[in-house]
Amino acid sequence: MSNLLEIAGLNKRFGGLQAVDRCELSVREGSITGLIGPNGAGKTTLFSIISGFTKPDSGQIRFGGRRIEGLGAYEVARRGLRRTFQIPRELKEMSVLENLMLVPEGQFGDRLLSVLLPGARVRQEEQVNEAAAREVLETVGLAEKADIAAARLSGGQKKLLELARCLMSRPRLMLLDEPTAGVNPTLIRHLMKVMQKVHASGITLLIIEHNMNVIMELCERVVVLDRGHVIAAGTPAEIQQNKQVLDAYLGGVDA
């Protein structure tokens, strides 16, 4: 498999803190890759840089062979790279279904012309988007919650909604930031099955996760970050046997 995402010499400093330090990593297309490390290792900052929410100081990011470092978040998203957040950012007063129907870009109903010339085109577009949204909700297990306000979802269900909103855009790569954090064990198993289904549909996944059982079961490859710098990368079995990783990280990460 070729690399879908390639990062080389990436740096980011906030005042006196070197959050990302000469970071080098790659993600193979069609893979599930885990990104682990202790709190403060720079994992979420790295996600923010990759997805365009934070500008790097230096270095290169290639996605699908094209450089994306420095692009805005909306530009990165349009190229097929989407992310979730540790704390879900649902539109609370809108229904679960409406949260998804807002995702498709370039909707005719968003244009001024649709106000002047409303009609069949807008209705047809809404029907297509609603059908797609309901299919995604079925995939993640939220079909029965489609018409309730997103604010009424449990914490774990909001994580599923975050994932569903990403999935609605059919990206090539999804960055999942601690998808099982704060979720009960039963829902964790469901989330894992959903991530496997998403992966099976042809979407590449890069996952930040503190739950080592999730990482070791789901991921084909694991990258270990420390103080913004990659110190190890390999299969779950190789990472489990890496003395440096075991001594410095796995022993201090919640399992």
Q: Is the pLDDT of residue 253 over 70?
A: no
First to last CA, the chain: 30
pLDDT range class, residue 103, cuts 50, 70, 90: confident
Name which residue leads in pLDDT, 39 or 74: 74
For 51, 96, 103, 242, the CA distances from 190, given in Å and listed in that order, are 26, 18, 24, 30
Q: Look up the domain containing 61 and give its range.
A: 3-90+153-251
Tokens linked to 22: 């000469």
In a domain, 227, yes or no: yes
Whichever domain contains 229, its CATH number is 3.40.50.300
Which pTM does this prediction carry?
A: 0.86
In a domain, 128, yes or no: no
Flag whether 180 is in a domain: yes
Q: What is the mean pLDDT of the chain?
A: 88
**How would residue 217 be classed by pLDDT, with cut points 50, 70 and 90?**
very high
pLDDT for 252: 47
Asked whether residue 38 carries a pLDDT value surpassing 90, the answer given is no
- What is the reported pLDDT for 100? 93
Residue 200 located in a structural domain: yes
> Domain for residue 131, yes or no?
no
**Does a structural domain hold residue 117?**
no
247: left (phi over 0), alpha (psi -120 to 50) or beta: alpha
State the total domains in the chain: 1
Q: For residue 33, is pLDDT > 50?
A: yes
Q: pLDDT band for 52, please (50, 70, 90 cuts).
A: very high
Residue 129: inside a domain: no
Structural domain contains residue 136: no
Q: What is the CA radius of gyration of the chain?
A: 19
pLDDT digits (tens, 9 = 90+) for 164-202: 999 998 899 999 999 998 888 889 999 999 999 999 999
Residue 118 has pLDDT above 80, yes or no: no
Whether the Cβ atoms of residue 204 and residue 31 lie closer than 8 Å to each other: yes
Tokens (6 digits) for 39? 């709190």
Q: Which two tokens stand for residue 196?
A: 């496997």
Task: Find the range with the poorest average confidence among 57-61, 62-66, 89-93, 94-98.
Answer: 89-93
Say yes or no to pLDDT of 53 above 90: yes
